[in-house]
Amino acid sequence: MKSVVIYYSQTGSTRKIAQAIHRGIIETNEQCDLTAIKDVTPRDLDHYDLIGLGSPIWMGAEPPNVRIWIESLPKQQGKHIFSFNTHGVMPELYFPAVVRRLNTKGFAVIGMRDWYGDYYSQTAPRPYFTDGHPDEIDLKEAEDFGREMVSISKRIRAGEANLIPLEPKQVLTPQLLVLVEFYRSGHNPHGLLKYHPEKCNYPKCRLCMDHCLMNYIDLSVSPRVFGSNKTECDMWMGCTFCEMICPTGAISCDWEAFVERFSASMPANPSDHPLQKAADAAIASGRLRLLVPKEKIRWDRLYYQVYNKHPRFKIPKDE
């Protein structure tokens, strides 16, 4: 049996989990490849018997590049696939959306698993509830999950069809309150990202071009192309990664205006914030192992305020 673990990872958490799952599959003495989603074509899947597909959670489900990739796939004939993700504190909407899409494509989804991961959002507190994840315990679980998926795939092929889990049902969660406010804005909820060519180090620096998941940036042409609107970015999913990784501040956003605009729709008491309530519930249930002191997580210290120098985030090297 030949397997492949396919992933999209923006800040490194999902990549770590994918690497651990890959190790687990290799330990079963099965052949397994590991690859980023941008390097896989739909035809490549013909070479594999078992596929793992993972991503972070954006706006409750998979990032748009992952959704576009799934939608580009030809109809499958019951090929085995498993789904995994990394997330902050509200993962409930992901599998109902992703598994439904994979089933529609004709896959047999044989398993699903999620893990907490470092969460980087300009308007979330820093440190965040999930900082430090995935840790060694998480990675060991991911290795075990990889081995389990190989075993389950083999057993299903041997006739144990009852091992295929039911498609998760859609659920109503407090996360929807946050998403509704974002969608009602009608544009990038964080505000327009603006490009300042006089501060840009291109061609010495290509970070924004190389890491824009929607390929909205091309600084090699004249005039330069930046963002969904060609001169600025109004990406509806609220991505601001290019602003975070720009080393010179050539990409900017008015974070103070965002906080002021959305503060009216959020609870005045931080303990009533949907993210805070979700985190408190996860901690109380034992599902979330806090790796940072809880008292250090303060809503008056948001990411963009703590990391106010450029770059706000340095992309980790592949491990």
Which domain range does residue 13 map to? 2-163
Please report the pLDDT score of residue 319 as a whole number. Answer: 47
Same domain, 93 and 190: no
Please report the pLDDT score of residue 306 as a whole number. Answer: 95
Burial class (CB in 10 A: 0-12, 13-18, 19+), 114: middle
Same domain, 118 and 263: no
**Sheet-wide strand order for 193-195:** 232-233, 193-195, 251-252
Spatial separation of the C-alpha atoms in residues 120 and 295, rounded to whole Å: 19
Tell me: the pLDDT tens digits for 95-106? 999 999 999 999
Q: For residue 182, is it within any domain?
A: yes
Domain count, the chain: 2
Same domain, 252 and 194: yes
Same domain, 20 and 117: yes
Spatial separation of the C-alpha atoms in residues 127 and 124, rounded to whole Å: 9
240-272: b (≥16 Cβ within 10 Å) or e: bbbbbbbbeebbbbebeebbeebeeebeeeeee
Name the 3-class secondary structure at 184: helix
Query: Could you tell me which of 175, 228, 138, 145 has the C-alpha nearest to residue 58?
Result: 175
Same domain, 157 and 186: no
Tell me: the pLDDT tens digits for 227-284? 999 999 987 777 899 999 999 999 999 888 878 877 776 777 888 888 899 999 999 9
Our measurement of the distance from residue 7's CA atom to the centroid of its chain's CA atoms, rounded to an integer in Å, reads 10
Q: Compute CA distances 189 → 210, 240, 246, whole Å.
A: 23, 10, 20
Taking 70 as the pLDDT cut, the residues of the chain under it are 181-182, 185-186, 189-191, 265, 318-319
Q: For residue 190, is it within any domain?
A: yes
Please report the pLDDT score of residue 318 as a whole number. Answer: 66
Sorted by sequence, the CB contacts under 8 Å of residue 26 that are 6+ apart come out as 32
- Evaluated on CA atoms 3, 21, 282, 297, the torsion sign reads negative
Spatial separation of the C-alpha atoms in residues 98 and 63, rounded to whole Å: 10
Which amino acid appears at position 233 of this protein? Answer: C
Spatial separation of the C-alpha atoms in residues 313 and 84, rounded to whole Å: 24
Please report the pLDDT score of residue 265 as a whole number. Answer: 67
Q: For residue 28, is it within any domain?
A: yes
Half-sphere CA count of 290, side-chain side, radius 13 A: 16
24: CATH = 3.40.50.360
End position of a domain, from candidates 135, 163, 191: 163
End position of a domain, from candidates 163, 191, 225: 163
Which amino acid appears at position 65 of this protein? Answer: N
Helix, strand counts (H, E) of the chain: 10, 8
